Amino acid sequence: MRGNFLTGERPAKPTPSEQAPSQPTAGDNHRKRGMSQRSLRVWSIVHRWTSLICTAFMLLLCLTGLPLVFGHELDVVLGDAIEAPELPAAQANARATYDQILAAALKQHLGHVPQYMIWEPDEPLLPVIVTAPRADTPPDDTLSTVVDGRTAQALGLPPGKGSLKFVLLKLHVDMFAGLAGKLFLGAMGVMFLAAVVSGVVVYMPFWRKVGLGRVRLKKKRRIVWLDWHNALGMLTLVWAIIVGGTGSINTLADLLLEAWRNDQLAQMLAPYHGKPPMVASASVDDAVKVARGVAPEMIPSFVAFPGTRFSSPHHYTVFMRGDGILTTRMLRPVLIDASTGALTDSRELPWYLKLLLGSQPLHFGDFGGMPLKIFWAAFDVLTIVVLGSGLYLWLTRHNKRKRGASA
């Protein structure tokens, strides 16, 4: 009977001898088997409907996520990459000050104020300066400038809203629907995890009977597709759970960051509550130097300037990050008084932000260089096959019923 849920094959009718109890407890065993069949049927229904609900959106995420795995390489192919120019040997070790870098970016956009100075882990000598007409300008209305960290020469603007990479990223993150889109995709991620777990439960009887990953190539086409669906699903099981789970966590980023701003950040800024805004006079270099002293084992990730979302009208917030493979995204905020350059406060992030930031390398697969990117891309493609084959099995279910009726 168990094979019925996996292959669609009709079980042979039991003979009278098979129906007759051979022991006094056979009736109890039959009831236990019946309960097992009912449980398996419930799991099968869960797998079917969670899969149907999330498949289209999981395909969207896999298809958009695949090129994003090779984000830098995509920029190079499209001609959008900004590379550091070659310098004479005498200037190879030159480093501009952070204040010089900031001034170079502001010179490109007169009337703008700085919002963020960002150092990407894979391009530490090409800081990105985010500027806008106001410190509280929404992210969609800001401009970014890449500056050579050795010479303080502005190199240009990274790919903007019209670029292919931007479109892929927006589709992948929120489908151009903002927070609602993120939360919806997070719910689809939970559905996907339920589909994966229930799929394993439904597959287990077949696994016990004929072995893990077996594909019956001599059977009918639909059964072959089913076997490939199951085999590839088991092959990608761990990867799918990791990427699906971390992706769902990342959809909560806006809510978790807002919770941190209203809780821990508000506590650190409490002594400045009610004070009038001031003009930043402290050096960015001095602020980063103080932050390095607070977290000497970490390196700068980005600076939030006064008045932005992650600072206050009175502070620079220097976010320091880990220097290890899996700690690159683990941050520690250091608040520096923007008028005096003195340390205000610094605390470890709460557990929920550590969970969020710690999950990101496992989702993006960007901590192991090109070999890991290829591995991530390969499992992305295999997951697309699993999703597509599941959709095929659903769409061809009527053909199976018609063949059964004609037989």
For 261-278, the pLDDT digits (tens) are 999 999 999 999 989 888
pLDDT at 75 exceeding the cut of 80? yes
CA distance 88 to 90: 5
Lowest mean pLDDT across 10-14, 232-236, 250-254, 340-344 = 10-14
Q: Check: CB of residue 165 under 8 Å from CB of residue 159.
A: yes
370's CB contacts (< 8 A; 6+ apart) are none
For the chain, what are the domain ranges?
A: 81-158
159 pLDDT tier (thresholds 50, 70, 90): confident
Average pLDDT value for residue range 335-344: 96
User: Of 340, 291, 284, 288, nearest to 102 (Cα)?
Assistant: 284
SS3 content of the chain, % helix, strand, coil (to 5): 55, 15, 30
325 pLDDT tier (thresholds 50, 70, 90): confident
Better-predicted residue by pLDDT, 216 or 118? 118
pTM: 0.85
19's CB contacts (< 8 A; 6+ apart) are none
34 pLDDT tier (thresholds 50, 70, 90): very low
pLDDT at 136: 93
